[in-house]
Amino acid sequence: MSYIGTTLDNRYEITEQIGSGGMADVYKAVDNVENRTVAVKILKDEFSQNEEFLRRFRNESKAIAVLSHPNIVKIYDVGLSDEIKFIVMEYIDGITLKDFIEQQGVLRWKDALHLITQILRALQHAHDKGIVHRDIKPQNIMLFTDGTIKVMDFGIARFSRVDGKTVSDKTVGSVHYISPEQARGDMTDERSDIYSIGVLLYEMLTGKKPFDADTPVAIALMHMQEECVAPRDIMPSIPDALEEITLHAMEKDPARRYQSAAEMIKDIDTFKLDPTVVFGYKDVVNPAVSAPETRYFNPVIDKNNYDYQNDDEYAENDYDEDDDDDDDDEPRRSYVVPIMLAVTVAVVIIASLVIAYYAISNFGPNATHTGNIEIPNFVGANIVQVEQEFKGKLVFDKTEEYSEEYDEGIIIWQSQTGKTVREGYTLQVTVSRGQKLITVPNMVNKDAQIATSELTSAGFTVLPREAYDDNIAKGMVIRTEPEAGTEYPEGKEVQLFISQGPLETQVKVPDLKGLTKAKAIATLKENKLNYEVQDQEYDGEKGKVVDQSLTPGTYADKNTTCIIYVSTGETQPIDLTLRIPMPNNIRGSYTIDVYRDGSVAYTKTITNAEAVAGGTVSIDISGKKTERLVVYIRNTETNGYIVYAKYDIDYDKEEINLNGELNETDLLAITPPESTTPEPTPSLPDTNIPTQSTPDTPSQPDSQADPTNTQY
């Protein structure tokens, strides 16, 4: 079923279909409340009663609803009524990553990493929310002209978890990008998405999928059992370290893969700073199959390029000390028992003294004890509520500090917990002031290095992102996200979009319709597109563009030829024959008037109706495009007239369609009796039929004239 032309919830006016999947169709629509273009995903009718598809559809709406990230498609509304189930999302004016890969063939590794990093950030956000996508593939990723991506289609994402892993009751996902554990139907977690990312990166770098076969089953088996061809064997220009990153993400054992998207991003950032870095993943032995005595050491690293700040894990003191000479241990052991005994005795004596002092001070004759209280753990509780509840029992010595984790007024630290104290005890607590908000400064058109320094000094973490821009010079800032002027928590990530200059290979096709030929040609030249002009018969303004060969808003390679069709200012009318059926019992003489836009366009006189009874009356008509014709019939003896029929004419398609039904009943009502011999009656002038100014308002009360008889 097509929903084009319908309005959902009295709000979303659907204008065109822009996509179709196995589960749902996607339409472009106008949100009449917010006055914006949106995308509406509607579950197909055949799946509206299928519980599995309903579950997936609800899953997608729930998944996107809890996510808020610049690289994840936004959701605006959800409708899950019995009649129709739909999701309203942001409209993305771009192409799929699949289309982009097909256009480019092989991507430059810098471009591939630019796109992959954005996808990883989106996934890290989803994983932090407990959502695993499970269907990462280029068809589910949209690409804007500025190089920004949006991850979409969370239809098979899962929320429920067992021991921190997502439960999978069946194999899901697209077979070319499916992880081995998904192919087996095992439990899946965030690392399954990492595997799919590795496959996607492999495809972008080599132009080939790592595993391909004639059947989905064969491909799935390859994911589980076979090793892929090394990327550098296909494209030797790929750096060694980038091959390491790709294959590490594609490890068949989840335990040997990147354990998070953030971990993979860290390696990518390291590689960008030093493309000669050696990660050593190829040399790492699988702990799961290693012998128990196997030892692991840090890989061989280029000391000139390695970051020693992160090398604590491999410090010299980490080696096993059991290899020391046992002969040296015995003398040292002789002192252990006496020392431990002395310490124990000292602890017992001190504890006894403390207990005695506490007993005398609290229960002796001079004790001032009024009651004891065990200090609960207040961390996470509201300070106002705690003070009210423990008023008169505890005194709270409060300090405040900003906190990213706790809201304002929440206790984030206390000096004691679980200790029994006397009432009136003073407890030191730290109360959250909430997140410290800082205004994001305007960085537009600033040098990227200067902008990074200023944002860092302001208290933000900077995430540089590359984007193409035709107006901002390379190396300068296009925008920030959040945008300038936004109050944003201190320490949070601010995305800094840095211009890479104009997009090198493709341009966006402009909309040329309605432009003059000269203006259209100039516009194509400005957008680095070639042109060809063809005249077209069209009832529009002469010299204006009425159509174009390249679809506006899509992307085309530079110097692609776009054919523009220019109106000649007129079209030739098309001749058709209107055949009007007559009832069997008609008799007498009649005048047939055919009206167009309130005026008589065609007239035909029938002097002997018996000759056409049960047949048709033919009238030649001529016109352009579409119109509605209204047929009036007047009996020349009784002078009665009626609206007999309405016809919708499409001259371009050469189609004539009856609108409604023939008014045979009223025609027979104005037919004279059979015994009456009608006298010849001259036809009335056209201006008297009907008697009113237009046929839409005839003078007879029984008229069925159409008051809205207009061309459409």
Query: Does 328 qualify as catalytic in the annotation?
Result: no
Q: What is the DSSP string of 213-278?
A: -SSHHHHHHHHHH-PPPPHHHH-TTS-HHHHHHHHHHT-SSGGGS-SSHHHHHHHHHHHHH-TT--
CA angle 279, 282, 287 (to 5 degrees): 105
Q: What is the DSSP string of 514-552?
A: TSBHHHHHHHHHHTT-EEEEEEE--SS-TTBEEEESSPT
Q: 605, 613, 616: which is closest to 580 by C-alpha?
A: 616
Q: How far is CA 273 from CA 142, 155, 362, 364, 448, in A?
A: 28, 37, 66, 71, 16
Q: 492, 493, 495, 494: which is closest to 405 by C-alpha?
A: 492
* Residue 256: Cβ-neighbour burial (10 angstroms; 0-12, 13-18, 19+): middle
Locus of tokens 């902008």 = 451
Instruction: Please give the Cα distance from 431 to 397 (Å, whole number).
Output: 10
Give backbone dihedrals phi and psi of 179, rounded to 5 degrees, phi first: -80, 155
Q: How far is CA 619 from CA 90, 510, 622, in A?
A: 53, 46, 10
Locus of tokens 């259209």 = 520
Instruction: Please give the Cα distance from 469 to 145 (Å, whole number).
Output: 8
How long is the chain? 712
Residue 211 and residue 223 in contact, taking contact as beta carbons nearer than 8 Å: yes
Cis peptide before 482 (omega within 30 of 0): yes
Q: 636, 640, 626: which is closest to 596 by C-alpha?
A: 626
Instruction: Please give the Cα distance from 107 to 27 (Å, whole number).
Output: 31
Going by C-beta distance under 8 Å and a sequence separation of 6 or more, which residues neighbour residue 401? 412, 430, 431, 432, 433
Active-site residue, from 135, 153, 666, 696: 135
Token pair listed for 355: 């207990």
Instruction: Please give the Cα distance from 584 to 501 (Å, whole number).
Output: 78
Within 13 Å of residue 701, how many CA atoms lie on the same side as its CB? 0
Q: What is the DSSP string of 364-427?
A: STT-----EEEPP--TTSBHHHHHHHTTTTEEEEEEEE--SSS-TTBEEEES--S-EEETTEEE
Going by C-beta distance under 8 Å and a sequence separation of 6 or more, which residues neighbour residue 499? 467, 468, 469, 472, 473, 474, 475, 476, 477, 478
Long-range pairs of 13-19 with CB within 8 A, sequence gap ≥ 24: 14/40
Sheet holding 477-481, edge to edge: 461-467, 493-499, 477-481
Residue 557 and residue 504 in contact, taking contact as beta carbons nearer than 8 Å: no
Q: 77, 76, 90: which is closest to 152 by C-alpha?
A: 90
Instruction: Map residue 358 onto helix, strand or coil.
Output: helix
Instruction: Please give the Cα distance from 553 to 91 (Å, whole number).
Output: 13
Residue 536 and residue 569 in contact, taking contact as beta carbons nearer than 8 Å: no
Instruction: Please give the Cα distance from 471 to 449 (Å, whole number).
Output: 19
DSSP letter (8 states) at residue 636: T
Cis peptide before 210 (omega within 30 of 0): no
The residues annotated as belonging to the active site are 135
